[in-house]
Structures are given as C-alpha cells and as structure tokens.
Structure 1
Amino acid sequence: MKKIRAIVTVKGLVQGVAFRNNTVQQAQRLGVTGWVKNLPDGDVRGCFEGGEDAVEALAQWCHHGPSRARVDRVLIERGEFRGEFSGFDVRY
C-alpha cells in the first residue's frame, strides 16, 4: 500500500462548528496520522499522513465536514510520506 502526505486547507464556516474534533475522529477511524488546527484567518488546516486511500478519504470528508460546517473550498497539496507522526491531534 502506497503511503502519502496531504496538507489540506478548508475555507468557509469551519471554526466554531467542531470541525477539528470531528476531523480527529475521522482520522482515527481511518488510521490516518497528523494534525489539524484553526488558522487566524478563519480557515482550518490539517496535515494528513497514511495509506493513500485513507488520506484521500479524509481529504474528501473535509469537503463537507461536520453537519454545522459550511465548506466553501478545499485546497489539497499532496506530498511524500514522511512518517513523522504517531497519532492524530489538534494543534493550537
């Protein structure tokens, strides 16, 4: 199984709607490692690593997020797997 890394930036109404916590739950369910955080401009950014299918599934989930979110746009930068994470957490 090919492993990849993706940096995902989610734009819209994505702060204050439990986007980060739901991303952690989805990542753990899929076996993806990395992090997610709020940005000062109102966006949410995450770094996802793992199997290609799992990372792509998490990135696709970000297109709608939790029920209270309104996602306007998702930017995805794919890169080489680095294997630097042991779990998935919220960064501040």
Structure 2
Amino acid sequence: MIRRRVVVRGRVQGVFFRASCAQEAAGHQVAGWVSNEPDGSVAAAFEGEPDDVEALVAWCQIGPPAAVVESVDVADEEPRGAQRFDVR
C-alpha cells in the first residue's frame, strides 16, 4: 500500500472534479479523500495498491472533460489505513 497527496491547480472547481475523482477512485479501489480548497485548487489523498494510486495521480493531470489542469503537485505520505473515499 502507498499513499500520495496531490494538489491540482487550474480550472478545477465547478467542473465536477471531485465527483469525477470519486468515481475514478471507486473504479481503482483507492481510498482517501478529495476537497475544494479556498485558493481554488483541489487537494486529494489516494491510498491503495501502487498501480491504482498512480493511475489516480495520472488522471489528475487531465481531470474531467471541463477541467483545465495547469499543475499537479504530488507528495508521498505514510499510508493511514484508509478504508473508503470521501468527497469533502
């Protein structure tokens, strides 16, 4: 198990980024969370098998169809035993 924290910047709020991210996470059986941040970015944490987590990180580079992703910051975190994916 691995955990990655991401911060996605660009036109990523108001474009169903969080809902789409939750669907992607469910499809990859990844736990964690996603939230809109006050600065207009979207933050998320993904925890699961390495290939599945990396697939979510790669998806964040593109996002849903209406998003315009300008940058994605990725950081490693210690796994916390997350069991579900939350939209905050």
With the shorter chain as reference, the TM-score category is: over 0.9
Separation in 2, partners of 1:78, 1:53: 14
SS across alignment from 2:57? helix
Separation in 2, partners of 1:25, 1:55: 13
Name the counterpart of 1:89. 86
Q: Which amino acid aligns with 2:83?
A: S
Name the counterpart of 1:33. 31
Q: Which amino acid aligns with 1:57?
A: A
Q: Which of 1, 4, 8 is 1:6 aligned to? A: 4
Large movers: runs of 4+ above 3 Å: none
How big is each residue's C-alpha offset from its partner over 1:45-84, in whole Å with a ceiling of 9 and x where there is no partner?
001100011000000000000000000000000122221x
Could you tell me the TM-score, scaled by structure 1's length? 0.93
Calculate percent identity across the aligned residue pairs.
50
Q: Which amino acid aligns with 1:49?
A: E
Could you tell me the TM-score, scaled by structure 2's length? 0.97
Separation in 2, partners of 1:51, 1:80: 13
Gaps of 5+ in 2: none
Q: Which of 76, 79, 92 is 2:77 aligned to? A: 79
Q: Cα RMSD between the aligned structures?
A: 0.6
SS across alignment from 1:42? coil
